[in-house]
Structure 1
C-alpha cells in the first residue's frame, strides 16, 4: 500500500473538473496540483495548467501517477515518495503522448487542512528556503493569493459613496457592500441617507443550511456623528453583546469615539437613546461594561448590553498570546448563549475589517471544530474569502492571517489535553466503578432513620 507524503500541493479527493476550475481561475501557465485518482483508487493525478488554450480557455492536462507497491512512477523512473517524484519533475519536463512538453513550475497550494494536523501545517508554511520562489510558498503566498482574489469581489458599494453618506465613513476607501449592509429601519424619509451605517451582516456561509448559524455585525468604530446611528442599529437588531477590539485612542489617533457614558455621570443621551453605565470591571486583558439602554421617549423599556473591550490588540498587529483571545471569545460566547433571543454579536475595531475580521474568523473556525470534532477539515483562506464576500477587506495583514492559524493551533492543543485528561478520568472511574454502588449503599445504610 502506498503511503502518501502529505504536501501542501496535495488536494486529496478533488475531481478533474474542480481541479480544472481552480487552475483556470489561477491563470498562470504551468501551475499544478496533485490529487487522488477517482478512476483508479490508489493512484494519483498531476493536473497542470498549460500554455495552450482549448475552447477559449487555458488547457489543463492530467498526468496519471501510478503507485506500484511502495513506489511512484509516471511509467519510467520509480520514486520512493510522491514528494520525490514531484521534486524530480519540477527540474525537468513531462512529455505527453502527443509530444507536447509539460512543466511543473508553480504548485497550486491547498489551504484545506485537518484541524488536528494544523501544527504540522504551520511548520510547513514556516519553512524557509534558500530559493526565493520557494521561500514565498508559505504564509506569504497564501495571504498574497487572498489579496489578489479580493479584486474579484465586484459587489456594489453605492450607498457608502453617496454624497450624504461620505462623512459617515471613518475611512473613505472602506465601505460596506450594499447586498449585506445593515439598513436602519427607523429612517426619516425626508433625510437622504438616514438609513445608512457603515456595517455589514456576517455569517458562516460555509456551513450547510441545516446547521445552526451564529450571526455577527461587523462595523467601523463610531464617529461623533454616527453614535446615534450605532445605538439605533443595536436596538433594531436586538443585539446584546458588543465586542470592541480597539482602544479609543491609539498612537495619538482617535480610533473610536466613546459611545457609552463616563462612570461619574448618571447617563448620557446618544441620538434617540439614553445610555447608563451600570457596571464596569477589568479582567486580565479586557474590560467588561454593562450598559443599560432605553428610548428617550419611553424610559421604562430598558435593555442591558454587555460591552467587551479587548485592550491588548495593537492596530495592524496581533496579540502576543492567542490563548488570551480564545479565553476572551469563550466568555463572549457564554454570555451570548445565556441571553434568550439575543440578536447578532456586534464586532468592531476602528475600520471594522482587520481586527474585526480576524476575531470573527477565529470564532467561526472554533465553532466548526467544536461541532464537527478535532478530525474535521478546516480552511483558513477559504473562511476569510467567505467573510470578505460579506464585508470587504476582512483580515488586513499577513500577521493577522498567521495569528488565525496560531489561535486555532492553540485551541486544538488545549482540546487535545482536555480530551486526554477526560480519558484518564474515565479510565479511573471505570477501574473503580464496581466500588461506586457499594459506596452508595454504605452511605444510605448509615443515614439516620426517620
Structure 2
C-alpha cells in the first residue's frame, strides 16, 4: 500500500457520534456544490441532439440462442447543493405519494403491460417486440455509428469483449487520465427527457482499467455505482475486484485513494450496500467524494433474476438521489444485458409515475438505448423481466397509496363523529 493513501477517521457504520455525523455531512454537502454543472458539461460535449437517436445493435459476448417515473421534485442548484448522501441513507425510504391522476395512470399502465405478459399464441407480444428489436439492429442508422476510439491500438486492450464497443459520439471521455481518454463506457439518456437520470453503462472493470473506472466516477461526480455481476462465473472472469475489500482500509488506484466507509448486506443477503470515499492524492486539499455502491449477487449472465424484489428494492433505495446529482454508473460484465435491463426498468418507472403512459412500450425505450450502446437488453427473458418488474412495483405502489387513502378516510369519519 502506498503510504500516501492514508485513511481519514474510520467510519464503520451509520451509527456515528453526532459530531462525526456533522463533519461528514458538511463535507458531503461541500462536495456536492459543483455537481449540478455536470449535465451542462454533458450537453456541451455531446450536443443537444444526443439522446434523440433511436434504434439498436444486438447482443454481446457469446450471445445465447434467442429464447412517469418515481416522483422526485425538479431540483435546482440549491436543492442539489443541500443533498447529503450520509443523511439520505439514514432516512427510511417512504412510498411515493401519488395524486389521483397519477394513481389512475399507474393502474392503466399495469393493465396494458399485464396484457402483454399474459398474451398467448404461437408468438406472444413480448416475443414480437423482441423480434422487432433484433430486426432493427441492422438499420442503416446503427450501421453508420462509429467505434473508432475503441479500436485505436492503445485502446483495444481496454475492452473486455471485442464486440461490445462504445459509440464515438456518446462515449465517456476521460479528461485528466495519464493512460489516455478512453474507457469502455457510454452515456445513456432518455429521448430528450432532461428531468430523468443519465446513466453511464459500462463493462466490468479489468485489472488494467480499474484506475480508469475510478477516474470516471470522480470526474463525472457519480453519486452511485450499480454492480450487477459476480466477479467469477465458474472459471470465467466477469469483472475484476476493483474496490477495497476491507472496511476502512484505503487502497490506491492511480492518483486516487478509495476507502470503504460502510458495508451492509440487504434483501436476504443478495445485495451488498457500500459507501466509498474517493480522495484525489494530487489535490490534497480537495473535499473527498462519497459514492454509494450497490452490488447485486444473484443475477445470472444472459438471464433474469428469480424475483423482481431485489432490483425494485435497489431502485427504491436510489429514489432519494437528485436526478441532476450526476450520472448513475451501471455495470455488469459487458455492460449491456443486465445493465440495459436495470436501466430500462428504472427509466420506465420514472416516466410512468411522472405521467408518461407511452413508457409502457418498454421495447421502444430499449430501442433508443441500443442506439447509444450496443445490445442493451440481450434476451427475451430480460425483456419480459423488465415488464414484470415495472408491473410489480406499480402494483405495490398502487396498493400502498390506496391503503393510505383508506386510512385517511376512516380517520376523517372518526373525527367528524356520528
Superposition TM-score, scaled by structure 1 size: 0.64
Structure 1 position 426 matched with structure 2 position 416? no
Q: CA deviation at 1:137?
A: 4.4
CA shift digits 1:125-158 (9 cap, x unpaired): 3x13xxxxxx124322211210110121121111
Q: CA deviation at 1:262?
A: 2.3
CA shift digits 1:55-104 (9 cap, x unpaired): xxxxxxxxxxxxxxxxxxxxxxxxxxxxxxxxxxxxxxxxxxxxxxxxxx
Structure 1 SS opposite 2:385: helix
Q: CA deviation at 1:358?
A: 0.3
Report the equivalent of 1:13.
none
The 8 Å contact of residues 337 and 377 in structure 2, kept in 1 or not, is answered as: yes
Of 387, 393, 396, 2:378 maps to 396
Superposed counterparts of 1:84-103, under 5 Å: none
Structure 1 position 291 matched with structure 2 position 282? no
Flag the structure with higher strand content. Answer: 1
How far, CA to CA, are the matches of 2:182 and 2:113 in structure 1? 43
Query: Which of the pair has the greater relative contact order for Cα pairs under 8 Å at 6+ separation?
Result: 2
Q: CA deviation at 1:268?
A: 1.1
Report the equivalent of 1:240.
223
Of 160, 163, 168, 1:170 maps to 160
How far, CA to CA, are the matches of 2:201 and 2:220 in structure 1? 13
How far, CA to CA, are the matches of 1:390 and 1:341 in structure 2? 20
The 8 Å contact of residues 114 and 377 in structure 1, kept in 2 or not, is answered as: no
Q: CA deviation at 1:170?
A: 0.1
CA shift digits 1:197-219 (9 cap, x unpaired): 00011111163xxx512111110
Q: CA deviation at 1:124?
A: 4.2
Of 105, 109, 122, 2:116 maps to 122
Q: After the TM superposition, list the runs of 4 or more consecutive aligned residues in structure 1 that deviate by more than 4 angstroms.
A: none
Superposed counterparts of 1:22-421, under 5 Å: 114-125=108-119, 127-128=120-121, 135-152=122-139, 153-154=142-143, 155-188=145-178, 194-205=180-191, 207=193, 212-263=195-246, 266-284=249-267, 285-301=270-286, 302-334=288-320, 336-337=321-322, 342-372=325-355, 378-421=360-403
Structure 1 gaps, min length 5: 1-112, 129-134, 436-450
How far, CA to CA, are the matches of 1:176 and 1:294 in structure 2? 28
The 8 Å contact of residues 210 and 242 in structure 2, kept in 1 or not, is answered as: yes
The 8 Å contact of residues 277 and 291 in structure 2, kept in 1 or not, is answered as: yes
The 8 Å contact of residues 230 and 238 in structure 2, kept in 1 or not, is answered as: yes
The 8 Å contact of residues 114 and 378 in structure 1, kept in 2 or not, is answered as: no
Q: CA deviation at 1:376?
A: 6.2
The 8 Å contact of residues 206 and 383 in structure 1, kept in 2 or not, is answered as: no
Structure 2 SS opposite 1:197: strand
CA shift digits 1:100-133 (9 cap, x unpaired): xxxxxxxxxxxxx9513135423443x13xxxxx
How far, CA to CA, are the matches of 1:372 and 1:433 in structure 2? 34
Superposition TM-score, scaled by structure 2 size: 0.69
Flag the structure with higher helix content. Answer: 2
Q: CA deviation at 1:341?
A: 6.2
How far, CA to CA, are the matches of 2:358 and 2:402 in structure 1? 18
The 8 Å contact of residues 227 and 271 in structure 1, kept in 2 or not, is answered as: no
Distance 1:418 1:206, change over 3 A: farther
Report the equivalent of 1:445.
none
Aligned residues: 306
Structure 2 SS opposite 1:304: strand
The 8 Å contact of residues 276 and 291 in structure 1, kept in 2 or not, is answered as: yes
CA shift digits 1:25-61 (9 cap, x unpaired): xxxxxxxxxxxxxxxxxxxxxxxxxxxxxxxxxxxxx
